Amino acid sequence: MLRCVFLTAFLALMTKVATADKTFAIQATYLGDQCGGTPYAITVYEDENCTATACDSYDTFYGSRAINANMMTNDCSSNHTELLQIMRDKFGNSPYLLQTLHIDENCTEFSMAFGYPAMGACVGAYNESDGLYAIASLNTNSSASLKLFYERTCFANQQYMATFVSQEELSTHSCTIDWFRWYSSNDAKVSPASTRDNTGGTLSSGALAGIGLGGFGFAVVLVVAVIVRRRQAKSRALDKHDHFESSMTPTAVDSLEAVLRGQTGMWNDDIITAKRIPRDKVQTERLISRGSFGEVYVGSFNDHKVAVKMLLPAMRGKIQHVNDFLAEAKMTATMDHPHIVSFIGVAWDSLSDICVVLEYMDGGELRSLLDKFQKDKHPIGFTREKTTIALEVCHALTYLHSLSPPIIHRDLKSRNILLNSDMKAKLSDFGISRERLDRTMTAGVGTSLWMAPEVMLGERYDDKADVFSFGVVLSELDVHTLPYARAKTENLDSKGNPIPDSILLQRVALGIVKVEFSDASPEAIVDLGRACTSVYPTERPTAAEALYKLQMILSRKKSSRTQSAESLN
């Protein structure tokens, strides 16, 4: 129900034009049993029925809805100058970072705002089953960073998104490419005139009544505009404590080994030790891909060509990264399916030199094949070969979801589907996969253009999120382009430029923009793709149901070919 209210309200926000000032609620949430000290989150949203609340239980205010905060205050204002000052006053002398969101590229239409304590520490959601955690920092060079995480430990590999705010953006409150303005405790005391000049414009008319932050989980609903940029932002927004020198010196390696002596980690896991192979038998030849945390080489093991996956040099000196890398290796090692890349072994001489050896797929990524099809103007539509690739991927998904507990891939896309020379497809890259220990999860991970709306919005999700991503892959197989390529060219801003990916993804989450299918494809496959990419998870088929439909489609194609051959004879 809450989701329906949000989608309806956000659609209104995106389409209406303000004709008069609206009333906004300024909600501050606190941990503990009092409304004092530094709030761990502030959100401003339109509420025409806003009621001021001095201090109340979050449960009392929102009834039975699951929340993350203990206590909250609620102030009301129809003046954007005043509401910014209220936010500042809530933080008092504590450092803070404020973010205002707008619905136009010039930031003249204000829609809502968020406030974060800029302590440089991991704060946020209070309930373990919901919400995100944040680290907001004001840097010594007068810039700022905001990082959101899906675990309360806020480790680098648990990062959901990150954004960097430059000194100029923070000091001038200029409109950013994602239609934000930023403020901080470093600003001089705000006067009504200066705030009005910087924020600009009238208040927009998005009917977002009744939607509280509920911890950082709901913050993500409305900062979905920065999802696309999070991977680029990671490298520049990471705190200096998360970084290591790109070239590991002998001293750094020795230090890691010394720290690990006497500790228990994934390197002592029974499955890992059983799969350990001699490091000197593993040779690397050439780099074939690089990601945020790792890189993959073509190599050899016992005179057989293999893929060798390693942590990036900058990541090898941290125990947490080593453990996470080995956890991925363990998960891959337990997989046994003909359409999942085979695990061969894990090798190390020192823990700063761990590598995972995998089956080498000589056909490369599916995305590379589709790029070639597009360049060569290969006919669009579904051939038997493409349908078979889809079927094989669906086989792998069905296997993952049938395990106990089910495993959700969470990053299904054409780049994580590998082909061999016979065009057989296998699923790879389980770096952010996890067992579904709870009924649903809220960790917003994955690659944004393939991401299900509920994941974009920070909502609870299950294995149907993988089904949405599979539907996006079906679209890629059909038309060869990256997801939403046509929508980008058809939706332009006032200057004739394509709208930012952030705004595009908002429209995807609302169901306004959908992936493309061609008229050349069989109606049954198009219907399946549409069903898989439904905004509502309950309307999507399971992986097993999608598998059955693809098998029926291929069966009909085979039967049709047989009948044609018999008629020729």
Which CATH number do you get for residue 329? 3.30.200.20
Q: Are residues 145 and 23 in the same domain?
A: yes
Query: 477 Cβ partners below 8 Å, 6+ apart?
Result: 366, 370, 382, 386, 389, 390
Distance CA 132, CA 254 (A): 35
Q: Are residues 133 and 77 in the same domain?
A: yes
Task: Quote the pLDDT of residue 447.
Answer: 52
- Is residue 431 scored above 80 in pLDDT? no
Alpha helix segments (H runs only) across 53-119: 58-62, 80-91
Q: Are residues 66 and 202 in the same domain?
A: yes
Last residue of one domain, picked from the residues 242, 264, 282: 242
Q: Are residues 323 and 185 in the same domain?
A: no
Distance CA 237, CA 320 (A): 19
Q: Which residue has the higher pLDDT, 527 or 109?
A: 527
- CA 456 to chain CA centroid, Å, is 6
Q: Are residues 394 and 280 in the same domain?
A: no
Q: Are residues 232 and 274 in the same domain?
A: no
63 is written with which tokens?
Answer: 């009834």
Q: What is the pLDDT of residues 359-387, one digit of tens each?
A: 999 999 999 999 999 999 999 999 999 99
Last residue of one domain, picked from the residues 193, 210, 242: 242
Asked if 447 contacts 472 with a C-beta cutoff of 8 angstroms, the reply is no
Element (H, E) at 120: none
Q: Which residues are bridge partners to 102 per DSSP?
A: 110
Where in the sequence is the domain holding 274, given as residue range(s)?
A: 250-359
The full length of the chain comes to 569
Q: Are residues 196 and 343 in the same domain?
A: no
Looking up residue 461, the CATH number of its domain turns out to be 1.10.510.10
Flag whether the pTM goes above 0.85.
no
Domain count, the chain: 3
Q: What is the pLDDT of residues 85-116, one digit of tens each?
A: 999 999 888 899 998 888 777 888 888 888 88
Last residue of one domain, picked from the residues 206, 224, 242: 242
Q: Are residues 118 and 61 in the same domain?
A: yes
Q: What is the pLDDT of residues 206-226, one digit of tens each?
A: 322 222 333 333 334 344 433
Share of the chain above pLDDT 90, in %: 34
Q: Are residues 334 and 388 in the same domain?
A: no
Q: Are residues 272 and 298 in the same domain?
A: yes
Q: Are residues 443 and 474 in the same domain?
A: yes
Q: Are residues 333 and 390 in the same domain?
A: no
